[in-house]
Chain A
Amino acid sequence: MSLLKIENMKTDIGQYAVLHGVSFDVPEGGVFVLLGRNGAGKTTTLRSIMGLWTPSPGSVTFRGEDITGLHTAGIARKGIAYVPENMGIFGGLTVEENLILATETGSFDQARLKRIYELFPAIETFWTKQAWSLSGGQKQMLAVARAIIEPRALILIDEPTKGLAPSIVAAMAEAFREIAETTTILLVEQNFHFAKSLGRDMAVIEDGRVVHTGTMADFVADKALQERLLSLSA
């Protein structure tokens, strides 16, 4: 059974129809990558899953339960974390406060916190700093750390490498690999090098529709398909 099942999801933003019937299954475990050109509807898909846009019609099923129409906070409490494109941190709060907001009890599981320190040493270094004072890479680390401070079944991550230095991107890839050992990641990414190094399964969105699904290994092997769907220069 798939962890997340999206069927015929259509989303309008204002008067514009952005998604025209997106359907795909995210299996449990590993990294599922959603690829597509700019404006294809990748971010809208993630936001629709989180209930930030309301898909109509269509359905989103998570662990066998229909979560379509649930309010965003309810979806988050089901065990889905969202790391938006703009990192989604709270600049006026400290690193510690940003993380504690995402805990259920208001206190940290020390083992998870230790793991986060190992994955992202900057989190420990800047623990008492206000988040606005962090660099772009550190903010992204904080956003991801917040998504894993509690056990989650699924993390939706939107373009985590955008604007980051190559060394940070490499560190981020390493961290995602570790996170994916215990948590499923649905990753939207433009950086194909990054995406193919992590992805196990994938889908390509074009003009608000899924035009290809399969394994990343098969997609990487098929240069013609890459060129046709994404105009990629690998």
Chain B
Amino acid sequence: MTRKMTFGALGVKAVMLIIAAALLFAPFLFQDVRSIEVAARICIFIVLVASYDLLIGYTGIVSFAHTMFFGFGAYGAAIALKEMGPGWNAVLLGGVLGMLVSLVIAAAIGLVSLRVKAIFFAMITLAAASVVLVLASQLSQFTGGEDGITYKVPDLFKPATKLLVDDAGKVVKLFGVSLNGKIAAYYFVFLSTLVLFLLLLRITVSPLGTVLEAIRENDVRAEAIGYRVVAYRTFVFCLSAAVASLVGTVYAVWLKYTGPETALSFDIMIDILLMVVIGGMGTMWGAVVGAVLLVLAQYYLRDLMGAAAEVVSSVPLLPELLNPDRWLFWLGLIFILLVYFFPKGIVGTLMTKGARG
């Protein structure tokens, strides 16, 4: 199935290549702990947002339970690593169990409530996510409660691990970067999320992706040409939940800590929604742009404003406006402007640039 490539689409593809290259070489390009943290978080959120976009953007399902599935994956790995010790079998078992729990709950919610109106489904997912958040806080013997769980990860990811050593037994450096366990952990995150993202991308360009777009556009029409809409929606809900759960496991391994704030919080859900809207719904590339922009803003907007405030320190009022403590105000303003100038999200709007109908 072919759609003509627009100039905007070419531009988007070019930006994607730049982002992919930046993430691939991040440990070598940005040699500080914070930058690697940001790069890993971007990788995680790209998949989390893309899996959510499969729901909201491609199928038209509004769910507030996405962080719940992310949390199942994270807590699965965290509990297994805590109980079984820092081995790969714990990561695997925890990840698989987390995913199975996600699949069972997604299937149950989907089959029961995807028949009803979208608003009811959204409310049910919100209720389920709230219950799980409360349970995670209260079942402290399993989840560590509000404090969460701290655990060790496989030896390969320990900072002291030497991936390559020279003749003197010292860790090999590449472009000035020590090839140690931290690098291994980053590439574990990068490669895992790359595989999951490519899987999601493959789904959206497959015949299934076309059916999902048809369902989003008009579910009655899709049903009338022979597609069981409830079955497709439930399948996609489960698929999206499974991917969110797997990326939750990856995040748990990266952070070495899992708690309500990092895995189940509604702040994460809001971030996902913002990223989808900023990037553009119904396009996997939108997840990439949305995740990159919002994570960068969350980490660097304060610094940027601090620097800007210094530059304009002689101008009245401006330094006060650019006070780093006001970063959330500016983030909100930027978000409003983005929505105003890119109503279909940045990628959604750019993709149509240069189109001739």
Please list the residues of chain A having a beta carbon within 8 angstroms of any beta carbon in chain B: 50, 52, 71-74, 76-77, 81-82, 84, 88-94, 96-97, 100-102, 106, 128-130, 133, 146
Contact = CB atoms under 8 A, between A and B. Distances in A.
Interface stretch (B10-18, B206-214, B329-337): B206-214
B328 interface: no
B210 A88 contact: no
B225 to A, nearest CB: 5
A130 B357 CA distance: 7
A73 B2 contact: no
A96 B4 CA distance: 13
23 contacts: A50-B224, A71-B228, A72-B223, A82-B224, A88-B218, A88-B221, A89-B221, A90-B217, A90-B218, A92-B213, A92-B217, A93-B214, A97-B1, A100-B207, A101-B210, A101-B211, A101-B225, A102-B225, A102-B226, A106-B207, A128-B2, A128-B4, A146-B225
A125 B222 CA distance: 25
A93 B221 CA distance: 13
Contacts of A101: 210-211, 214, 222, 225, 227
Given A76-B226, A101-B214, 12 more contacts: A50-B224, A52-B224, A73-B227, A74-B228, A82-B224, A82-B225, A90-B214, A90-B221, A101-B222, A101-B225, A128-B2, A128-B3
B213 A93 contact: yes
Contacts of A84: 221, 224
B220 interface: yes
Interface string B1-42: 111100000000000000000000000000000000000000
A73 B1 contact: no
Interface string B315-357: 0000000000000000000000000000000000000000001
A94 B3 contact: yes
Given A71-B228, A73-B228, A101-B211, A96 B1 contact: yes
Contacts, number: 70
A106 B209 CA distance: 12
Contacts of B217: 90-93
Contacts of B229: 73
Interface residues of B, number: 22
Interface of B: 1-4, 207, 210-211, 213-214, 217-218, 220-229, 357
Nearest to A134: B357
A71 to B, nearest CB: 7
B2 A77 contact: no
A104 B223 CA distance: 14
A72 B226 CA distance: 7
Nearest to B221: A88
Contacts of A52: 220, 223-224
A76 B224 CA distance: 6
